[in-house]
């Protein structure tokens, strides 16, 4: 059943979005900005300069440090060996090895800090509590993402020292007497930061960032096209409880020690797929012509359906349509010619490596 306006929650920055002229839409139980000046313009600005995203619909969760081993019974990452200030991308799994959510986990001095997907955050926390974890939901903290090659210039002026962070590293900072937790990470394929800020200070921080010449507000529409070009899956579309990490091409999220020891949900099935292959795989598709293939479009070889599109659209940085799809493994090799049924018309496509566009992360060892 679709959300009605009365069911939807406002973001902490709702009033600011409306003042900025955002078009608001329902998403993950919230009223969220889909665009301000236009999706393509916002996409290109983020690739070239810096875009500010309100991602406060995401769930921010704290766990006691002592829960690290218990958390490992629910996810496939190495949490007990995680060093302070390091982020780990991991997967919350069901008993069959299906993905309940993808999430970020950071060990801090006094706790574990998790960022989970907005649409499933209540379900995630229920799974964690059922697993004996002492979940603290940070409902009074907002989450902003500043993304793009000039994000570091703008944020460093307001929060000195953030430029010393590297990709998938995080630390605490202060801004005008307010504690911030900042990670060098994001969901666009660009360099950038995610900033956890108390709700009481969120609007002032957002306005301060938007006052910097490099920064413009960016909506959900461009967030989706940016992450699609980066080959990043969206939970509920490219990931779901019927899909394993191996099928999703996310086997890298299974830490080396966990592969050796197991002990995570669905380990037998997942290890079997790592050894023997999975029946289907998430792949990238370059789509011929100008007509985009959307979620749900079927993928064909001759008279045989071999897959289905889970995300698709026009890629502004490439000037062409692209898609992600799950296809049978025999048709998943790079270069494989396929067809997509788009509104009853067969469109030629071929399997290509992801990301569709090179990522621009500032990794450990890079010059400041």
CATH value at residue 188: 3.30.1360.120
Residue 33 lies in a domain: yes
Domain range for 13: 5-58+139-229
Quick one: 192 and 291 in the same domain? no
Last-in-domain residue among 209, 229, 249:
229
Q: pLDDT of the chain along its 368 residues, tens only? A: 345 566 899 999 999 999 999 999 999 999 999 999 999 999 999 999 999 999 999 999 999 999 999 999 999 999 999 999 999 999 999 999 999 999 999 999 999 999 999 999 999 999 999 999 999 999 999 999 999 999 999 999 999 999 999 999 999 999 999 999 999 999 999 999 999 999 999 999 999 999 999 999 999 999 999 999 999 999 999 999 999 999 999 999 999 999 999 999 999 999 999 999 999 999 999 999 999 999 999 999 999 999 999 999 999 999 999 999 999 999 999 999 999 999 999 999 999 999 999 999 999 877 65
What does the alpha-carbon distance between residue 246 and residue 268 come to, in Å, rounded to a whole number? 12
Residue 224 shares a structural domain with residue 290: no
Strand arrangement, sheet containing 87-93: 87-93, 99-107, 111-116, 59-64, 136-137
Residue 313's CATH number: 2.40.30.110
Name residue 148's beta-bridge partners: none
Q: Which residues pair with 84 in a beta bridge?
A: 107
For residues 224 and 292, membership in a common domain is answered with no
Q: Does residue 125 fall inside a structural domain?
A: no
Domain count, the chain: 2
Same structural domain, 143 and 223: yes
Task: State both tokens at 190.
Answer: 């660009």
Same domain, yes or no: 154 and 29? yes
Q: Is residue 69 part of a domain?
A: no
Secondary structure of residue 216 in the 3-state scheme: strand
Distance from the first to the final alpha carbon of the chain: 49
List, as own/partner pairs, every contact residues 348-352 make where C-beta atoms lie below 8 angstroms and the sequence separation is at least 24, other chains included. Answer: 348/287, 348/288, 348/289, 349/285, 349/286, 349/287, 349/288, 349/293, 349/299, 349/323, 350/285, 350/286, 351/283, 351/284, 351/285, 351/327, 352/284, 352/285, 352/286
Q: What is the DSSP letter of 96?
A: T
């Amino acid at each position: 059943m679709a959300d009605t306006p009365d069911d939807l929650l406002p973001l902490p920055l709702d009033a600011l979005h409306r003042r900025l002229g955002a078009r608001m839409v329902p998403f993950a139980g919230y009223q969220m900005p889909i665009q301000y000046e236009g999706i393509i313009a916002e996409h290109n600005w983020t690739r070239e300069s810096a875009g500010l995203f309100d991602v406060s619909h995401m769930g921010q969760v704290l766990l006691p440090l002592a829960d690290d081993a218990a958390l490992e019974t629910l996810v496939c990452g190495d949490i007990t060996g995680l060093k302070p200030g390091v982020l780990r991308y991991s997967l919350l799994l069901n008993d069959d090895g299906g993905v309940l959510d993808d999430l970020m986990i950071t060990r801090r001095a006094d706790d574990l800090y998790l960022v989970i997907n907005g649409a499933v955050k209540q379900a995630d926390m229920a799974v964690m509590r059922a697993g004996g974890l002492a979940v603290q939901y940070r409902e009074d903290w907002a989450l902003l993402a500043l993304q793009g090659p000039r994000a570091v210039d703008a944020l460093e002026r307001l929060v000195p020292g953030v430029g010393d962070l590297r990709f998938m590293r995080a630390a605490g900072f202060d801004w005008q007497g307010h504690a911030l937790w900042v990670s060098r990470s994001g969901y666009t394929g660009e360099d950038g930061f995610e900033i956890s800020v108390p709700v009481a200070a969120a609007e002032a921080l957002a306005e301060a960032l938007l006052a910097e010449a490099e920064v413009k507000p960016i909506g959900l529409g461009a967030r989706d096209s940016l992450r699609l070009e980066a080959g990043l899956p969206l939970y509920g579309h490219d990931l779901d409880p019927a899909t394993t990490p191996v099928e999703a091409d996310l086997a890298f999220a299974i830490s080396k020690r966990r592969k050796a020891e197991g002990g995570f949900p669905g380990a037998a099935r997942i290890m079997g797929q790592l050894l023997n292959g999975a029946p289907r795989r998430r792949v990238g598709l370059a789509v011929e012509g100008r007509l985009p293939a959307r979620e749900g479009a079927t993928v064909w070889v001759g008279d045989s359906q071999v897959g289905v599109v889970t995300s698709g659209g026009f890629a502004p940085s490439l000037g062409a349509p692209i898609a992600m799809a799950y296809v049978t493994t025999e048709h998943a090799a790079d270069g494989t010619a396929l067809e997509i049924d788009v509104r009853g018309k067969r469109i030629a496509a071929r399997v290509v490596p992801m990301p569709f566009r090179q990522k621009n992360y500032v990794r450990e060892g890079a010059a400041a």
